[in-house]
Amino acid sequence: MVHQTTFSKDFLPQNYSQFDVQKALNELVSIELKTAQIILAETTARAQTPLTIDQVRAAIFQTTIVGAPQALSYGIIDAIVEPVLPSSDVLYLTETYLAQIPVTPPVAATSAP
């Protein structure tokens, strides 16, 4: 998931000037551009369908979720690996297995005389 860069205004002083807002905006734009460049540098070489800087920046400006096949084609991931459960030497505690276990009644607690 790629999402837009934000910061909380709770820590800002009460007299926050327009200059300060512009400076903060420039810093956010710089961070977003650098993030897009890092994403491109890391994904382009292994991508089947390389992303452009505009596509990455568009994904940053809105929350974007990419599925596994699409992430693979963009070079975000190297492979899609599905887990394989072992079939021997493992005990799976399923409802069927647990239903076969005999239930022993609890032992009544005895009080000392």
- The predicted model scores a pTM of 0.57
pLDDT given for residue 48 in this prediction: 94
Residue 99 has pLDDT above 80, yes or no: yes
CA distance 68 to 66: 7
Count how many Cα atoms sit within 13 Å of the Cα of residue 7 in the half-sphere of its side chain.
Answer: 12
56: in domain: yes
112: in domain: no
Mean pLDDT of the region 71-84: 92
pLDDT, tens digit, for every residue of 33-63?
A: 898 999 999 999 999 999 999 999 888 888 8
8-17, 57-66, 86-95: least confidently modelled range: 8-17
pLDDT given for residue 90 in this prediction: 82
**In terms of residue numbers, what domain contains 50?**
1-81
CA distance 103 to 99: 9
113: in domain: no
Number of domains in the chain: 1
68: in domain: yes
33: in domain: yes
60: in domain: yes
7: in domain: yes
- For residues 36, 39, 42, 45, the Cα torsion angle rounded to the nearest 10 degrees is -80
